[in-house]
Amino acid sequence: MRSETRRNVVLTVLWATVMGFLLATGTDCLAAQDPIIRVVVARGKVTVTGVGSAQVIDRVGDVQPGAWVEPAAGSVTYLVRESGVELLPAGVRTRVSAAPSNWATTSEKRGLVDLVVALFLPQERWSSPAITKGDEEEKAAQYRVLYPRDTKVEDREPVFAWAGGGDRFEVRLYRSGSDEWVWKKEIRGERRATLIGQPLEDGQAYTWEVRDIQNPENVAVAVFATPSRAERQRLAEAIRSVRESCRVTSPSFTCDFAVAGLYRKEGYVYNAIRVLEAVRSGGRHAASVESLLRELED
């Protein structure tokens, strides 16, 4: 009897050990599959129902698989997760699907998703919009600066872009506070110009203008700044760290979005736009990228 009792005790201990291990492993597996799904509202509000208490999101919030997300009419809303970014139709209820079965959460991936979310958050205005000079009667000939405008610029030879106007333009670059231009170029048939031969200096503020040669009284003006040498080095290291984190485990577009999000978070809207333009050229997430570019260039 004593031997049988001892055997029962041993079996009970073994059973408890095995079950404890299975429960612990199961908990880890569930945690590893816990999806990061976030709703980001660039404009308007979103109602989330179906899982837990109903909630209204006007900036950013987490949602669970199975929830129904309904952006208000006229809003701009994105569903962001590590496996992709989705532009949600305004005024339509959309059910959030489950994450892919092989999806695994790590602190690095969570950090990458947070950077992607930062990219899609509503834009904070640095200053007043770019100024367009000209007579009221000449509105048809006026145009507007797209970028760089009210931003920091990492590139030493940035691209200047604008919209509208005629077929011939002159672009001039000034150090802020000076009336003497440091670079100028005449452009025909395009609405962008690349700074070549006069690289930007570190820690400087610049003003640039684009003038319609056919209507020279119309001048669109914008300002931007460059980082100091120390800030440039810090930014380069941060970008290197982001790309290293997602080099093997994350899709390439997630890495691109995360880098653009880092640029946006640090105030380099121009560089975020340039990264997104590269994503667009690859044909990935076209609807989301086009919508976001409109928001950033507005």
Q: Return contacts of 188-197, CB within 8 angstroms, 24+ apart.
A: 191/143, 191/161, 191/162, 191/163, 191/164, 191/165, 192/159, 192/160, 192/161, 192/162, 193/159, 193/160, 193/169, 194/157, 194/158, 194/159, 194/160, 195/157, 195/158, 195/159, 195/160, 196/157
Rounded to an integer, the average pLDDT of 17-21 is 41
Which tens digit of pLDDT belongs to each residue from 159-204? 999 988 788 999 999 999 898 999 999 999 889 999 998 999 999 9
pTM of the predicted model as reported, rounded to 2 decimal places: 0.75
Rounded to an integer, the average pLDDT of 102-117 is 69
The mean predicted confidence, pLDDT, of the chain is 80
pLDDT at 137: 45
Kindly list the domain boundaries of the chain, sorted by start residue. Answer: 37-105, 120-298
- The DSSP secondary structure of 37-75, one letter per residue, reads EEEEEEES-EEEESSSS-EEESSEEE--TT-EEEEPTT-
State the amino acid at position 57 in one-letter form: I
pLDDT at 82: 76
Q: What share of the chain is helix, strand, coil (3-state, %, to 5)?
A: 35, 30, 35
Rounded to an integer, the average pLDDT of 246-252 is 71
Rounded to an integer, the average pLDDT of 200-218 is 91
Name, in order, each residue with C-beta under 8 angstroms of 159's C-beta and a sequence gap of 6 or more.
147, 192, 193, 194, 195, 274
pLDDT at 30: 35
Rounded CA gap, 159 and 200, in Å? 12
Rounded to an integer, the average pLDDT of 129-155 is 69
DSSP label at residue 123: P
Rounded to an integer, the average pLDDT of 246-267 is 84
Asked if residue 288 lies in contact with residue 254, where contact means CB atoms within 8 angstroms, the answer is: no
Mean pLDDT is lowest, of 7-21, 35-49, 212-226, 257-271, for: 7-21
Q: Any idea which fold 120-298 has?
A: Immunoglobulin-like (2.60.40)
Rounded CA gap, 118 and 111, in Å? 11
Looking at the predicted structure, is the pLDDT value of residue 270 above 90?
A: yes
Residue closest to 40 by CA, chosen among 79, 90, 68: 79
Residue closest to 154 by CA, chosen among 292, 275, 270, 296: 270
pLDDT at 268: 95
Mean pLDDT is lowest, of 10-19, 148-157, 180-189, 202-211, for: 10-19
pLDDT at 92: 93
pLDDT at 99: 62
At 3 the three-state DSSP class reads helix
pLDDT at 173: 96
Percent of the chain with pLDDT over 90: 42
Tokens 């920091």, located at residue: 152
pLDDT at 158: 96
pLDDT at 3: 52
